[in-house]
Amino acid sequence: MLIEESESQLVLIDYQTRLLPAIHEGTLVLANALKLAQAANLMSVPVWATEQNPQGLGHNAPELTRLCKSTLTKRHFSAVPDGLTDLLRPPKAAKGGNARSLPKHLQKPANDAPERNTIVIAGCETHVCLLQTALDLLDDEYDVCVVTDASASRTERNRDAAFDRLAGAGAELVTTEMVLFEWLRSCDHDQFKQVLTLIK
């Protein structure tokens, strides 16, 4: 199953300034997160971020924050208990009406935006906040794609153990370029040249 641009949302977990220096390949991981966020913005894929206890770990890298619709501050390791699902699947607006409204059988159906149930997720630390968020999203019946080269922990062992567990739980393990080329699908995409520049 290919990742559909129109069904995707991007979630970036805890790329925080006091945490990144301790992360294995932290510079490369942040660079790939930036590529994902830049491409998502070009293709109108919503981008969300989280920060774990920013008073202690600092805020996300500012260049990443600028590319996100919103940043969720959290205390739980999983972002779901602190409100991530409310961002990903906001409640539908109540249908209004009054005594002068058309009868229901004459009203046009509401043109609700399609739900985006594919969550492309990356972040730090893979074996803690990313893992717990992704598992909760799987429990909430989202399709979850974990971007392996944009995710890391302080040690490779912890990162790799998290990838094994996530794959076993049903998450797809992907890379930055896999996501970008699947979003594009064709060299005829309107944003192909701009995204190719990001990749190169």
Q: Is 109 helix (H, G, I), strand (E, B) or coil?
A: coil
**CATH classification of the domain holding 24:** 3.40.50.850
What local confidence, expressed as pLDDT, does residue 115 receive? 84
76 in a structural domain: yes
pLDDT at position 109:
47
Euclidean distance between CA atoms 18 and 55, whole angstroms = 10
Q: What is the pLDDT of residue 102?
A: 56
77: number of Cβ within 10 Å: 18
**Parts of the chain with a pLDDT under 70:** 91-114
Decide if 135 is inside a domain: yes
| pLDDT value for 95 | 57
| Other beta carbons less than 10 A from residue 25's beta carbon | 13
What the block records as the tokens of 101 is: 């409204």
Distance CA 107, CA 111 (A): 12
**What is the residue range of 83's domain?**
5-87+115-199
Domain assignment present for residue 142? The answer is: yes
Domains contained in the chain, number: 1
**Residue 5: cis peptide before it, omega within 30 degrees of 0:** no
